[in-house]
Structure 1
Amino acid sequence: MWQDNTNSYAAGSSQTPYYSQAGASQPGVPLQFYAPSPVGSTFYPGSRSSLEGNVGAQGNIAQQGVAPAYGGNIQQVGPWWTAFGTGGLEGEPPLLEELGINFTHIRAKSLTVLNPIQRVDERIMDDADLAGPLLFIICFGTFLLFSGKPQFGYIYGVGLLGSGSIYTLLNLMSEKGIDAYRVASVLGYCLLPMVGVGALSVMVTLDGTLGYLLSTLSVLWCTWSASTIFVAVLRMSDQRLLVAYPIGLLYGCFALLSVFNVGSGVAK
């Protein structure tokens, strides 16, 4: 019994080996996993099958049904200014909006300040930004510079100190509370009437009756607009005068900077 099993195993093992069978049936033919180069082709200057997607005798990769690794639409190259936008990407907001600069919101808030008699929406500062206030502050300082009053340092100092003071007072007076970012945004947007007075100072001297009248009017306008927004956002209608008083003092400092030249005595 043991002898029969040995003979059958020996007979089967002599017939099953792959290399001996392939060599015996097809002498002189290379192994099956090796594909010789086509007749007449050279290795270096001709075709390089390993770089063209051919895998031995199995054909190219595309014939095996392998899906490509990358897909989608290829965007055409546009002008150089397309690098500063997101117009070629679906669902992406504009680049300036991603940076916090939304001209639609700036225009809406500016119109709210310029029309103080209209009703203010309590959710107007849900999307607060500093792009508009920074623009107004730079314009205000530039107009004063053209009128012979370089007051950039005083403008930034008064604005920073005033914003911190108003932020502290509003959080002490209201139950809802407000963050410093929104306080600076409201105060900056409501500076727009004062920017107009600064533009007039380039053509007209404000150190006189006309200048005093325009400065007083701009202070009242800025104070009314800012207090209206703060009262609407914080729901402090019963404390309107208490909110308007410190805001009026702040804009009064800006009015003094636009009327008088603070550094004139030092320069002499």
Structure 2
Amino acid sequence: MANKDLTFPQVVFNPSTPTYRRHTIAWTSTSNPLLPLDDEPPLLDELDTPTESLPRRGGTVAAAAPAMVNRYLPFFQGVVLNPSTPTHHPIPGNGNVAANLDDEPPLLEELDIDTGLIWRKAVSILHPLRSVDPSLHADADLSGPVLILLSLALFQLMAGKLHFGIVLGWATAASFFLYFISSMLLSPGRGGRGDFSLYRCASLLGYCMLSMTIFSAVSLFLPRGGGLIFAVGMGFVLWSTRVCSRLLVASGGHGDEHRGLIAYPCFLVFMLFSLLVIF
């Protein structure tokens, strides 16, 4: 096949000025010897675009561009691109985003987490001899108890014991155990209130675990295997039992006559956690 020079017109668009110009590109068949250029139709005939419809030198592309866009790019129909004048398309329904964000409540408030109330509940349990105020624990929550239990497990981790799952699992089982015992002893048939629930029992037990958390922190500085850590642990167990029994009896609507019955299962629960800390 002989080498022949082929020329064909090319349309070059300039975005800054909507005009075009013609120039000729020379291309020999040696660049691709497998392509039979003699049998190929011209480029404009292949696109089925007559040269008479194209504008002349100095004309605009407004007549030819919509036809080519509508024929070969149907998904661009109705879209007019003008780089010199960019448009802004606002998102409908958003309005002033900054003003809406300022009106949003804090995240803790949306999650119904009152940090001030959690702090007051924790402080009411910290005094070992002062009577705890049951009215502070009228609104049950699990945010404070989960934080206290995680702190207990963290101090155990500092002692070299990975007890995160054990602490959370034992606390859940202890909540069911205390709720079962308390619901029988503090039932409405025995003069109690009927609003005592498992959620409230878990909340009270979690806040009373604050003393066990303090004992877990103190045990880091006590010798292992001695009588001192057992004596300190017994003191924290009695402290937790006193506070937990007081809150459970008050939440059930009973007086102190049932406090001794509730104190025994509470003592067993906190003794179990103290042994976990010691050993």
TM-score (norm 1): 0.62
Q: Which runs of 4+ in 1 moved over 6 A?
A: 69-72
Structure 1 residues 175-214: aligned runs within 5 Å: 175=188, 176-177=193-194, 178-214=196-232
Give the counterpart of 2:276 among 253, 257, 268.
257
For 1:111-155, what per-residue CA distance to the aligned partner results, in whole angstroms no more than 9, with x for missing partners?
Answer: 111124444444333321111111111111111111122222322
Q: Is 1:88 aligned to residue 97 of structure 2? A: no
Matched-pair contact (CA < 8 Å) for 1:100–1:129: no
- For structure 2, the residue ranges without an aligned partner over 5 or more in a row are 1-79, 83-91
Give the counterpart of 2:161 among 133, 138, 149.
149
Measured in 1, the distance between the counterparts of 2:154 and 2:81 equals 69
Report sequence identity in percent.
35
For 1:36-62, what per-residue CA distance to the aligned partner results, in whole angstroms no more than 9, with x for missing partners?
Answer: xxxxxxxx899xxxxxxxxxxxxxxxx
Q: Is 1:108 aligned to residue 120 of structure 2? A: yes
Q: Is 1:97 aligned to residue 87 of structure 2? A: no
Q: Give the root-mean-square deviation of aligned CA atoms.
A: 2.8
Q: 1:172 to 1:201 in 2, by over 3 A?
A: same
Aligned to 1:226: 244
Aligned to 1:215: 233
Measured in 2, the distance between the counterparts of 1:106 and 1:144 equals 23
Structure with greater contact order relative to length (CA < 8 Å, sep ≥ 6): 1
The amino acid across from 2:142 in the alignment is L
| Higher share in strand | 2
For 1:157-199, what per-residue CA distance to the aligned partner results, in whole angstroms no more than 9, with x for missing partners?
Answer: 3212111010011111112141111111100001111101111
The amino acid across from 1:202 in the alignment is L
Q: Is 1:136 aligned to residue 154 of structure 2? A: no
Matched-pair contact (CA < 8 Å) for 2:124–2:133: no
Q: 1:71 to 1:201 in 2, by over 3 A?
A: closer
Measured in 2, the distance between the counterparts of 1:87 and 1:182 equals 35
Q: 1:98 to 1:127 in 2, by over 3 A?
A: farther
Aligned to 1:244: 263
Matched-pair contact (CA < 8 Å) for 1:140–1:195: yes
Matched-pair contact (CA < 8 Å) for 2:152–2:212: yes
Q: Offset of 1:201 from its aligned partner?
A: 2.5
- For structure 1, the residue ranges without an aligned partner over 5 or more in a row are 1-43, 47-68, 78-85, 261-268
Q: Offset of 1:93 from its aligned partner?
A: 4.5
Q: 1:124 to 1:147 in 2, by over 3 A?
A: same
Aligned to 2:20: none
Matched-pair contact (CA < 8 Å) for 1:136–1:189: yes
Q: 1:95 to 1:249 in 2, by over 3 A?
A: same
